[in-house]
Amino acid sequence: MPSITRQFWIALLLLVSAASAGATEAAIRSLLDRAEAAQRDDTEAARSLALEALGKLDAAPDADLELRARAVLCDALIETDAAGAERQLAAGRAALRTASNRGLEADLLNCEGELRSIAGDSETALRLFERSLAIAERQDRPEAAAEALLRRGELRSRNGDLVNAMGDLRRSLLLFDSAGMPLAAGDALNSIANLYSRLGDDREAASSYENLLRRLDPDKSTRDYAVIVHNLGRVHENAGNWAEAKREFELALELSRRAGNGRIVGYSLRGLSAVRLAAHQPAAALDLLDEAAAQLRKSPDNWLESQILLQRGLVLQALHRLPEALTALEAATVELEKSGALYPRAAAHVARAEIHAELGQWQQAYENTTRAKALTESVLRSQIDQRYAILKVEHDTASREHENVLLVRERTAIEKSLQQERRANRFKLVAIVLTGILAATLATILMRLRRSAARMRQLAMTDELTGLPNRRAVLERLERTLAKPSDKPCSVLIADLDHFKLINDGWGHLVGDEVLKALALLLRTSVREPMVIGRLGGEEFLVVLPETGLHAAHQVAERIRLQVAGLDTAGLCDRRQLTVSLGVAVGMPGRCHASELLREADAALYAAKSAGRNRVHPTPAATLQTVPLR
C-alpha cells in the first residue's frame, strides 16, 4: 500500500510539472508572437518582449524558442547597438546546433545580412540573403523568404542592380500580402518607390511615397512613417523643391526622434543641411552635419557616413575652406566607391573639380571633371537600360492596372451622363455629351494603344532573361550592316557556354539562369558601340563587329574567352570554372548574306568545340590558326 501511495504522488508531481512546463512554453510563445508583431513599428517593445521571453527560457530551455528571441533582439539592436546585435547572432548560432526547426536559421541570416549591408560589405550581405532565401523556401517559411527578398532587393537597388531589385521587391510584396502582413508590405512598396527614385523617375517616386503615407497612421507606425517622409523629402531635394524638402525632413526628424530611430535622425539632419546650404546658410548647414555625425557614432551606417561626408565637402566649399572640403570629398569618394553608388560619386568629383580649379590645380580639376562625366553618362545609360528591362518585368501587371483604370473612368463618365439625362430629360443634349465623351475616350485609348504597341515592339526585341537584344534584334542589325556595301569587312562571333547542361543538371535551371545573366553582363561590359551583342538562344550569344577584320575580331573573342574563364562563380555553382568556345567569321558588306556569315561562324564554333572547347576558332576559310587552350 505505501508503495502504491508513493507511485501516485510521483505521477501527480509529474503531471503538475508537465502542466506547468506547458503553461510556461505557451507564455513564451505568446511573448515572442507579440515581439515579432512589434518589430516594424515599435523596436523598443519588441526588444523588451524578447528579453522577457529569454528570462523565462532560463527555467524552461527550448532551442527553437531561443532562436526566435535572438533573431528578434538582433533586428531590434541593428540600428542602435551593432555590437549587441552581433552578440545575439553568436548566441543564436549556438542555439541553432540543438534546434529542431532548421528554418529559423533564415531569420538569423537576414539579420546578419542587414548588419553586413549597413557596414558596407554588400557582397557578403547578398550571399547571406541568398542563403536565407534558399533555407526559407526549402523549409516552407514564406514570411522569412519575403524578408530575405525585401532586404536583398533593397541592397540590389542601392547598388544599381535595379532590374533584379524590382523582381525581388515584387515577389516580396506578393508574399507579404499573401501572409497578411500589411506593415511589411508597406516596406516593400516603400522600397519600390525608392527604386523609381533611383531610376530618375521622381514623379512616380513621390506619388508612391504619398500613397504610402495615406495608408499609415503616424501615431501607430511612427518608425515607418518617418522613413517614408524622409524618402519623400529626398525626392524633393533631388528635384530642387527646397520648401517641400524642408517640410518633409523636419517632420521626419521629429518622428524619428519620437520613435528612437537614430539612423533616420542622422539622415534627416543631413537632408536639412542640404536645405540650409541651398538657402545660402552654410554655417547653419555645418552645425546640422556635426549633429548628424554625432548621431552616426551612436548608430553606425556606411551609406549615411558617405552622405554626410559628401554634404560636408559641399558645405565647406561654400565656406571657402577649400583644403578641408577636399579632404571630406575625397573621403566621401572612397566610401561611395565601396557602395557602388554612381551619381553621388559624380557629384563628389564635380565639387572636387571646382575646388581644384579655384586653387589653380588644373590637372586635378580636369581629371575629376572627366571622372564625373564618365560616371554621369554611366548613370544615364544604366537608368535607360534598366528602365526598359523593368518595364518588361512590370508589363503584365501594369497593363492590367491601366485597363482597370480606363474601365473605371469610362464607367464613371457614363454613370454621370445617365444621371444628367434622368435629371434634365434632355435626350438630345445627353446624346451629344455621351458622343463627345465616347469620342474622347476612344481617342485616348487609340493613343495609348499606339504607345503600348511601340513599347511592346521594344520589349519584343529584348531577351527576357538577360536583358540583351534577342535573336530577332541582333540578326536585324547584322542584316542592315551587311546590306550596305563597304570596303571594310564585318566580323561576327558566336559564343557558346561550354558544358552548360551540366550546370542545369547539377545545380538546377535557376542557377543556370543566373550563370547566363552573369555571362550576359560580362559580354555587355566587354562590347561597346558600334559593336552589337545579342542572345541567339539557349547558351549561345552573337557579337557583331562592324568594320572589323579577322585579326581584330580574334582579339576581341580571345579577350571574352579569358574574361569568362576568370568569372567568380562563388554562390552560383560551387566555384565551377566557366569556359566558352567562340567561332569567328568575316565577310564583306554588300557581298555576303547574314545566313552565310552565321553558317561560317557556326562551323567555326563547331570546330572549336571539337578541338576541346574553351578556345577561339576562326572560319575554316581563314588563314589564322586556332588559338590553343592556355
pLDDT digits (tens, 9 = 90+) for 507-549: 888 888 888 888 888 888 888 888 889 998 888 999 999 989 9
Instruction: Judge whether 582 lies within some domain.
Output: yes
Between residues 496 and 208, the one the model is more confident about: 496
CATH classification at residue 501:
3.30.70.270
The mean predicted confidence, pLDDT, of the chain is 81
pTM over 0.85? The answer is no
Q: How many whole angstroms separate alpha carbon 485 and alpha carbon 590?
A: 4
Cα separation, 495 vs 497, in Å, equals: 7
Q: Is the pLDDT of residue 193 over 50?
A: yes
Higher confidence at residue 182 or residue 442? Answer: 182
Q: Is the pLDDT of residue 224 over 70?
A: yes
Residue 229 has pLDDT above 70, yes or no: yes
Band (pLDDT 50/70/90 cuts) for residue 28 is confident
Number of domains in the chain: 1
Burial of 540 (0-12, 13-18, 19+ CB in 10 A): middle
Question: Residue 514: which domain range?
Answer: 471-618
pLDDT-derived band at 21 (thresholds 50, 70, 90) equals low
Proportion of the chain above pLDDT 70, given as a percent: 81
Higher pLDDT, 456 or 516: 516
- Whether the predicted pLDDT of 494 surpasses 90: yes
Map grid coordinates 515584387 to a residue. 170
Residues with Cβ < 8 Å from 263, sequence gap 6 or more? Answer: 79, 299, 301, 304
DSSP one-letter code for 528: -
In tens, the pLDDT along 253-278 reads: 998 888 888 888 989 999 998 999 99
The DSSP code sequence of 345-377 is HHHHHHHHHHHHHHTT-HHHHHHHHHHHHHHHH
Question: DSSP per residue over 448-511, as a string?
Answer: HHHHHHHHHHHHHTB-TTT-SB-HHHHHHHHHHHHHS--SS-EEEEEEEETTHHHHHHHH-HHH
Q: Of 29-38, 114-123, 213-222, 490-499, which gets the smallest average pLDDT?
A: 213-222
Identify whether 260 is part of a domain.
no
Is residue 368 one of the residues assigned to a domain?
no
CB 81 within 8 A of CB 300: no
Model pLDDT, residue 554: 93
Bridge partners (DSSP) of residue 537 are: 540
CB-based contacts of 379: which residues, under 8 Å, 6+ apart? 342, 343, 346
Report the C-alpha gap between 482 and 598 in whole angstroms: 12
Picking from 212, 288, 215, 211, the residue whose alpha carbon sits closest to that of residue 246 is 288
pLDDT at 625: 37
Q: What is the pLDDT of residues 347-394, one digit of tens each?
A: 888 888 888 888 888 888 888 888 878 777 776 666 565 555 555 555
Q: Decide if 432 is inside a domain.
A: no
* Rounded CA separation 518/539 (Å): 12
Q: How many C-alpha atoms does 417 have within 13 Å on its Cβ side?
A: 18
Q: How far is CA 577 from CA 498, 515, 580, in A?
A: 10, 11, 10
- Hey, what amino acid is at 267? Y
Task: Provide the 8-state DSSP code for 539.
Answer: T
User: 594-610 and 471-483 helices cross at what angle (nearest 10)?
Assistant: 120
Over range 77-103, report the average pLDDT.
86
Return d(Cα 423, Cα 427) in angstroms, integer: 11
Query: Is 229 within the bounds of a domain?
Result: no
Task: Say if residue 530 is preceded by a cis peptide, omega within 30 of 0.
Answer: yes
**DSSP H or E stretch at residue 422:** helix 362-424
Asked if pLDDT for residue 397 goes beyond 70, the answer is: no
Q: Which residues contact 324 (CB under 8 A, 6 or more apart)?
A: 316
Q: Does some domain include residue 502?
A: yes
Instruction: Answer whether residue 116 shows pLDDT above 60.
Output: yes
Residue 162 near residue 156 (C-beta atoms within 8 A): yes
Calculate the alpha carbon distances from 524 to 62, 466, 529, 621 in Å. 52, 10, 10, 29
What residues form DSSP beta bridges with 496? 540, 581
Phi, psi (rounded to 5 degrees) for 584: -120, 135
Predicted pLDDT at 259: 80
474 burial level (CB within 10 Å; 0-12, 13-18, 19+): buried
Residue 490 has pLDDT above 90, yes or no: yes
Contacts of 451 (CB under 8 A, 6+ apart): none
Coil vs helix vs strand at 530: coil
pLDDT band, very low/low/confident/very high, at 630 (cuts 50, 70, 90): very low
- pLDDT tens, residue by residue, 420-452: 767 666 656 655 766 666 666 676 677 776 776
Q: Which of 629, 625, 480, 504 is nearest to 573 (CA)?
A: 504
Angle at 511 (CA atoms; ends 120, 500), nearest 5 degrees:
130
CA distances from 16 to 3, 4, 24, 27, 402 (A): 20, 18, 12, 16, 63
CA gap 308, 306 in Å, rounded: 6
612 has a pLDDT exceeding 50: yes
Provide the pLDDT for residue 124. 92
CA 600 from centroid of its chain's CA atoms:
41
Nearest Cα to 495, choosing from 546, 539, 553, 555?
A: 539
Residue 58 pLDDT more than 50? Answer: yes
The pLDDT of 46-53, averaged and rounded, is 84
Write the CB contacts of 212 (distance below 8 Å, at least 6 apart in sequence).
Answer: 186, 189, 190, 193, 228
Give the DSSP letter string of 281-310.
Answer: -HHHHHHHHHHHHHHHHHS--HHHHHHHHH
Give the Cα separation of 164 and 130 in Å (integer): 13
Res 269: pLDDT: 92
Q: Which of 119, 154, 120, 113 is nearest to 136 (CA)?
A: 113
Instruction: Record the cell numbers describing residue 386, joined without a space.
Output: 534598366
Query: Does any domain span residue 507?
Result: yes
* Of 120-134, 383-397, 492-506, 551-565, the least confident: 383-397
Q: Is residue 8 part of a domain?
A: no
